[in-house]
Amino acid sequence: MMKKICVVGSLNMDLVVIADRFPQPGETLSGKEFHTFPGGKGGNQAVAAGRLQADVRMVGKVGDDIYGKQLILNLQKNGVKADGVFVDSGVSTGIAVIEVDGAGENQIVIVAGANGKLDSRFIDEQFDAMLEYDIFLFQLEIPLETVVYAIKKLKEYGKTIILDPAPARLLPDEIFNYLDYITPNEMEITMLTGKKIRTADDAREAGDWLRRKGVGTVILKMGKNGAYLISDQEFSLIPGFTVNAIDTTGAGDSFNAGFGVSLARGNGLWESVRFANAVGALSTTAKGAQNAMPDWEQVMSFINAEVTRR
Ligand code: ADP
């Protein structure tokens, strides 16, 4: 039987302005293009899981504005149950204003908006509905105390917890005891453990550091190289897939969704990291975060083609 996935986290609308150059303070400049893209790490992971045919629910908050409506619609369009997304009338939807200049450099301002209002009371209100789910995906774009509160409470019911510790920040020791899986990239694991990852030994030591703190299994995302799997049973680098990467935005979110979905289908750890590598790789093959996130058939035929080639 397929297990059910619940994502608890952020929903953002990315507002992207393309111009030849950035304006000076006080200057008004004519830009060239404007685009809006659904984003936020929570929303990205939920959409990626939805495309992979998971039974997935999003728990989060948006504001009572046009972006909030669009984000909810986008979740539903991608097969995500959105009745756990609350429309908070006192605040804006979370947004990121992204300016891109002619050289492709960017400047970003993020306003957490409704994401910042996700408090423990909201978790309590949602909790009964959440208990119908098995595997929980968290990230760090909602208040940290809410993440700790929710994870601790879910653990009391024996739920499976996957934390993507992104964006990078320090975490209180307490949280590690509640994590079945943590999925940092190189920068995030360095932030958490103080250890730079130059060699396989570094990866093992940083992974062991987190496991000593109480984490079950560490999955260290290594970009095109794939990911390390560090558990009590095993230490291995599970190689990534070779693709023509165009934009790696959202690769980590796609990876996490792929990992969760594969676990939900009852696959083992090695196979699930392999599957996550495929989802992450495919997500880099076009511009944008959600734009290139693959569906189930795409991932399966991609993995099968890779197996035949060898
Ligand atoms: P983040 O996006 O969080 O910085 P990574 O860059 O490590 O994390 O990417 C997450 C995962 O996506 C990787 O572990 C890998 O599976 C896949 N991935 C990322 N970049 C590439 C790439 N250029 N080629 C193939 N796979 C990639």
Compute the distance between CA of residue 184 and CA of residue 162 in angstroms, rounded to an integer.
11
Is position 253 annotated as part of the catalytic site? Answer: yes
- Using pLDDT thresholds of 50, 70 and 90, give the confidence band for residue 310: low
Measured in Å, residue 222 CA sits from the centre of ligand 1 at 6
Question: What pLDDT is stored for residue 200 in this prediction?
Answer: 98
261 pLDDT more than 70: yes
- Using pLDDT thresholds of 50, 70 and 90, give the confidence band for residue 179: very high
The string of pLDDT tens digits covering residues 122-162 is 999 999 999 999 999 999 999 999 999 999 999 999 999 99
pTM: 0.96
Region 110-130: mean pLDDT is 98
The larger pLDDT score, comparing residue 22 to residue 308, is at 22
Q: Which ligand 1 atom is at minimum distance from the Cα of 250?
A: 2
Nearest to 63 by CA among 13, 97, 14, 110: 13
Measured in Å, residue 220 CA sits from the centre of ligand 1 at 10
The string of pLDDT tens digits covering residues 273-286 is 999 999 999 999 98
- Using pLDDT thresholds of 50, 70 and 90, give the confidence band for residue 308: confident
User: If you average pLDDT over every residue of the chain, what do you get?
Assistant: 97
Ligand 1 lined by 252 (C-beta under 6 Å): yes
Region 78-107: mean pLDDT is 96
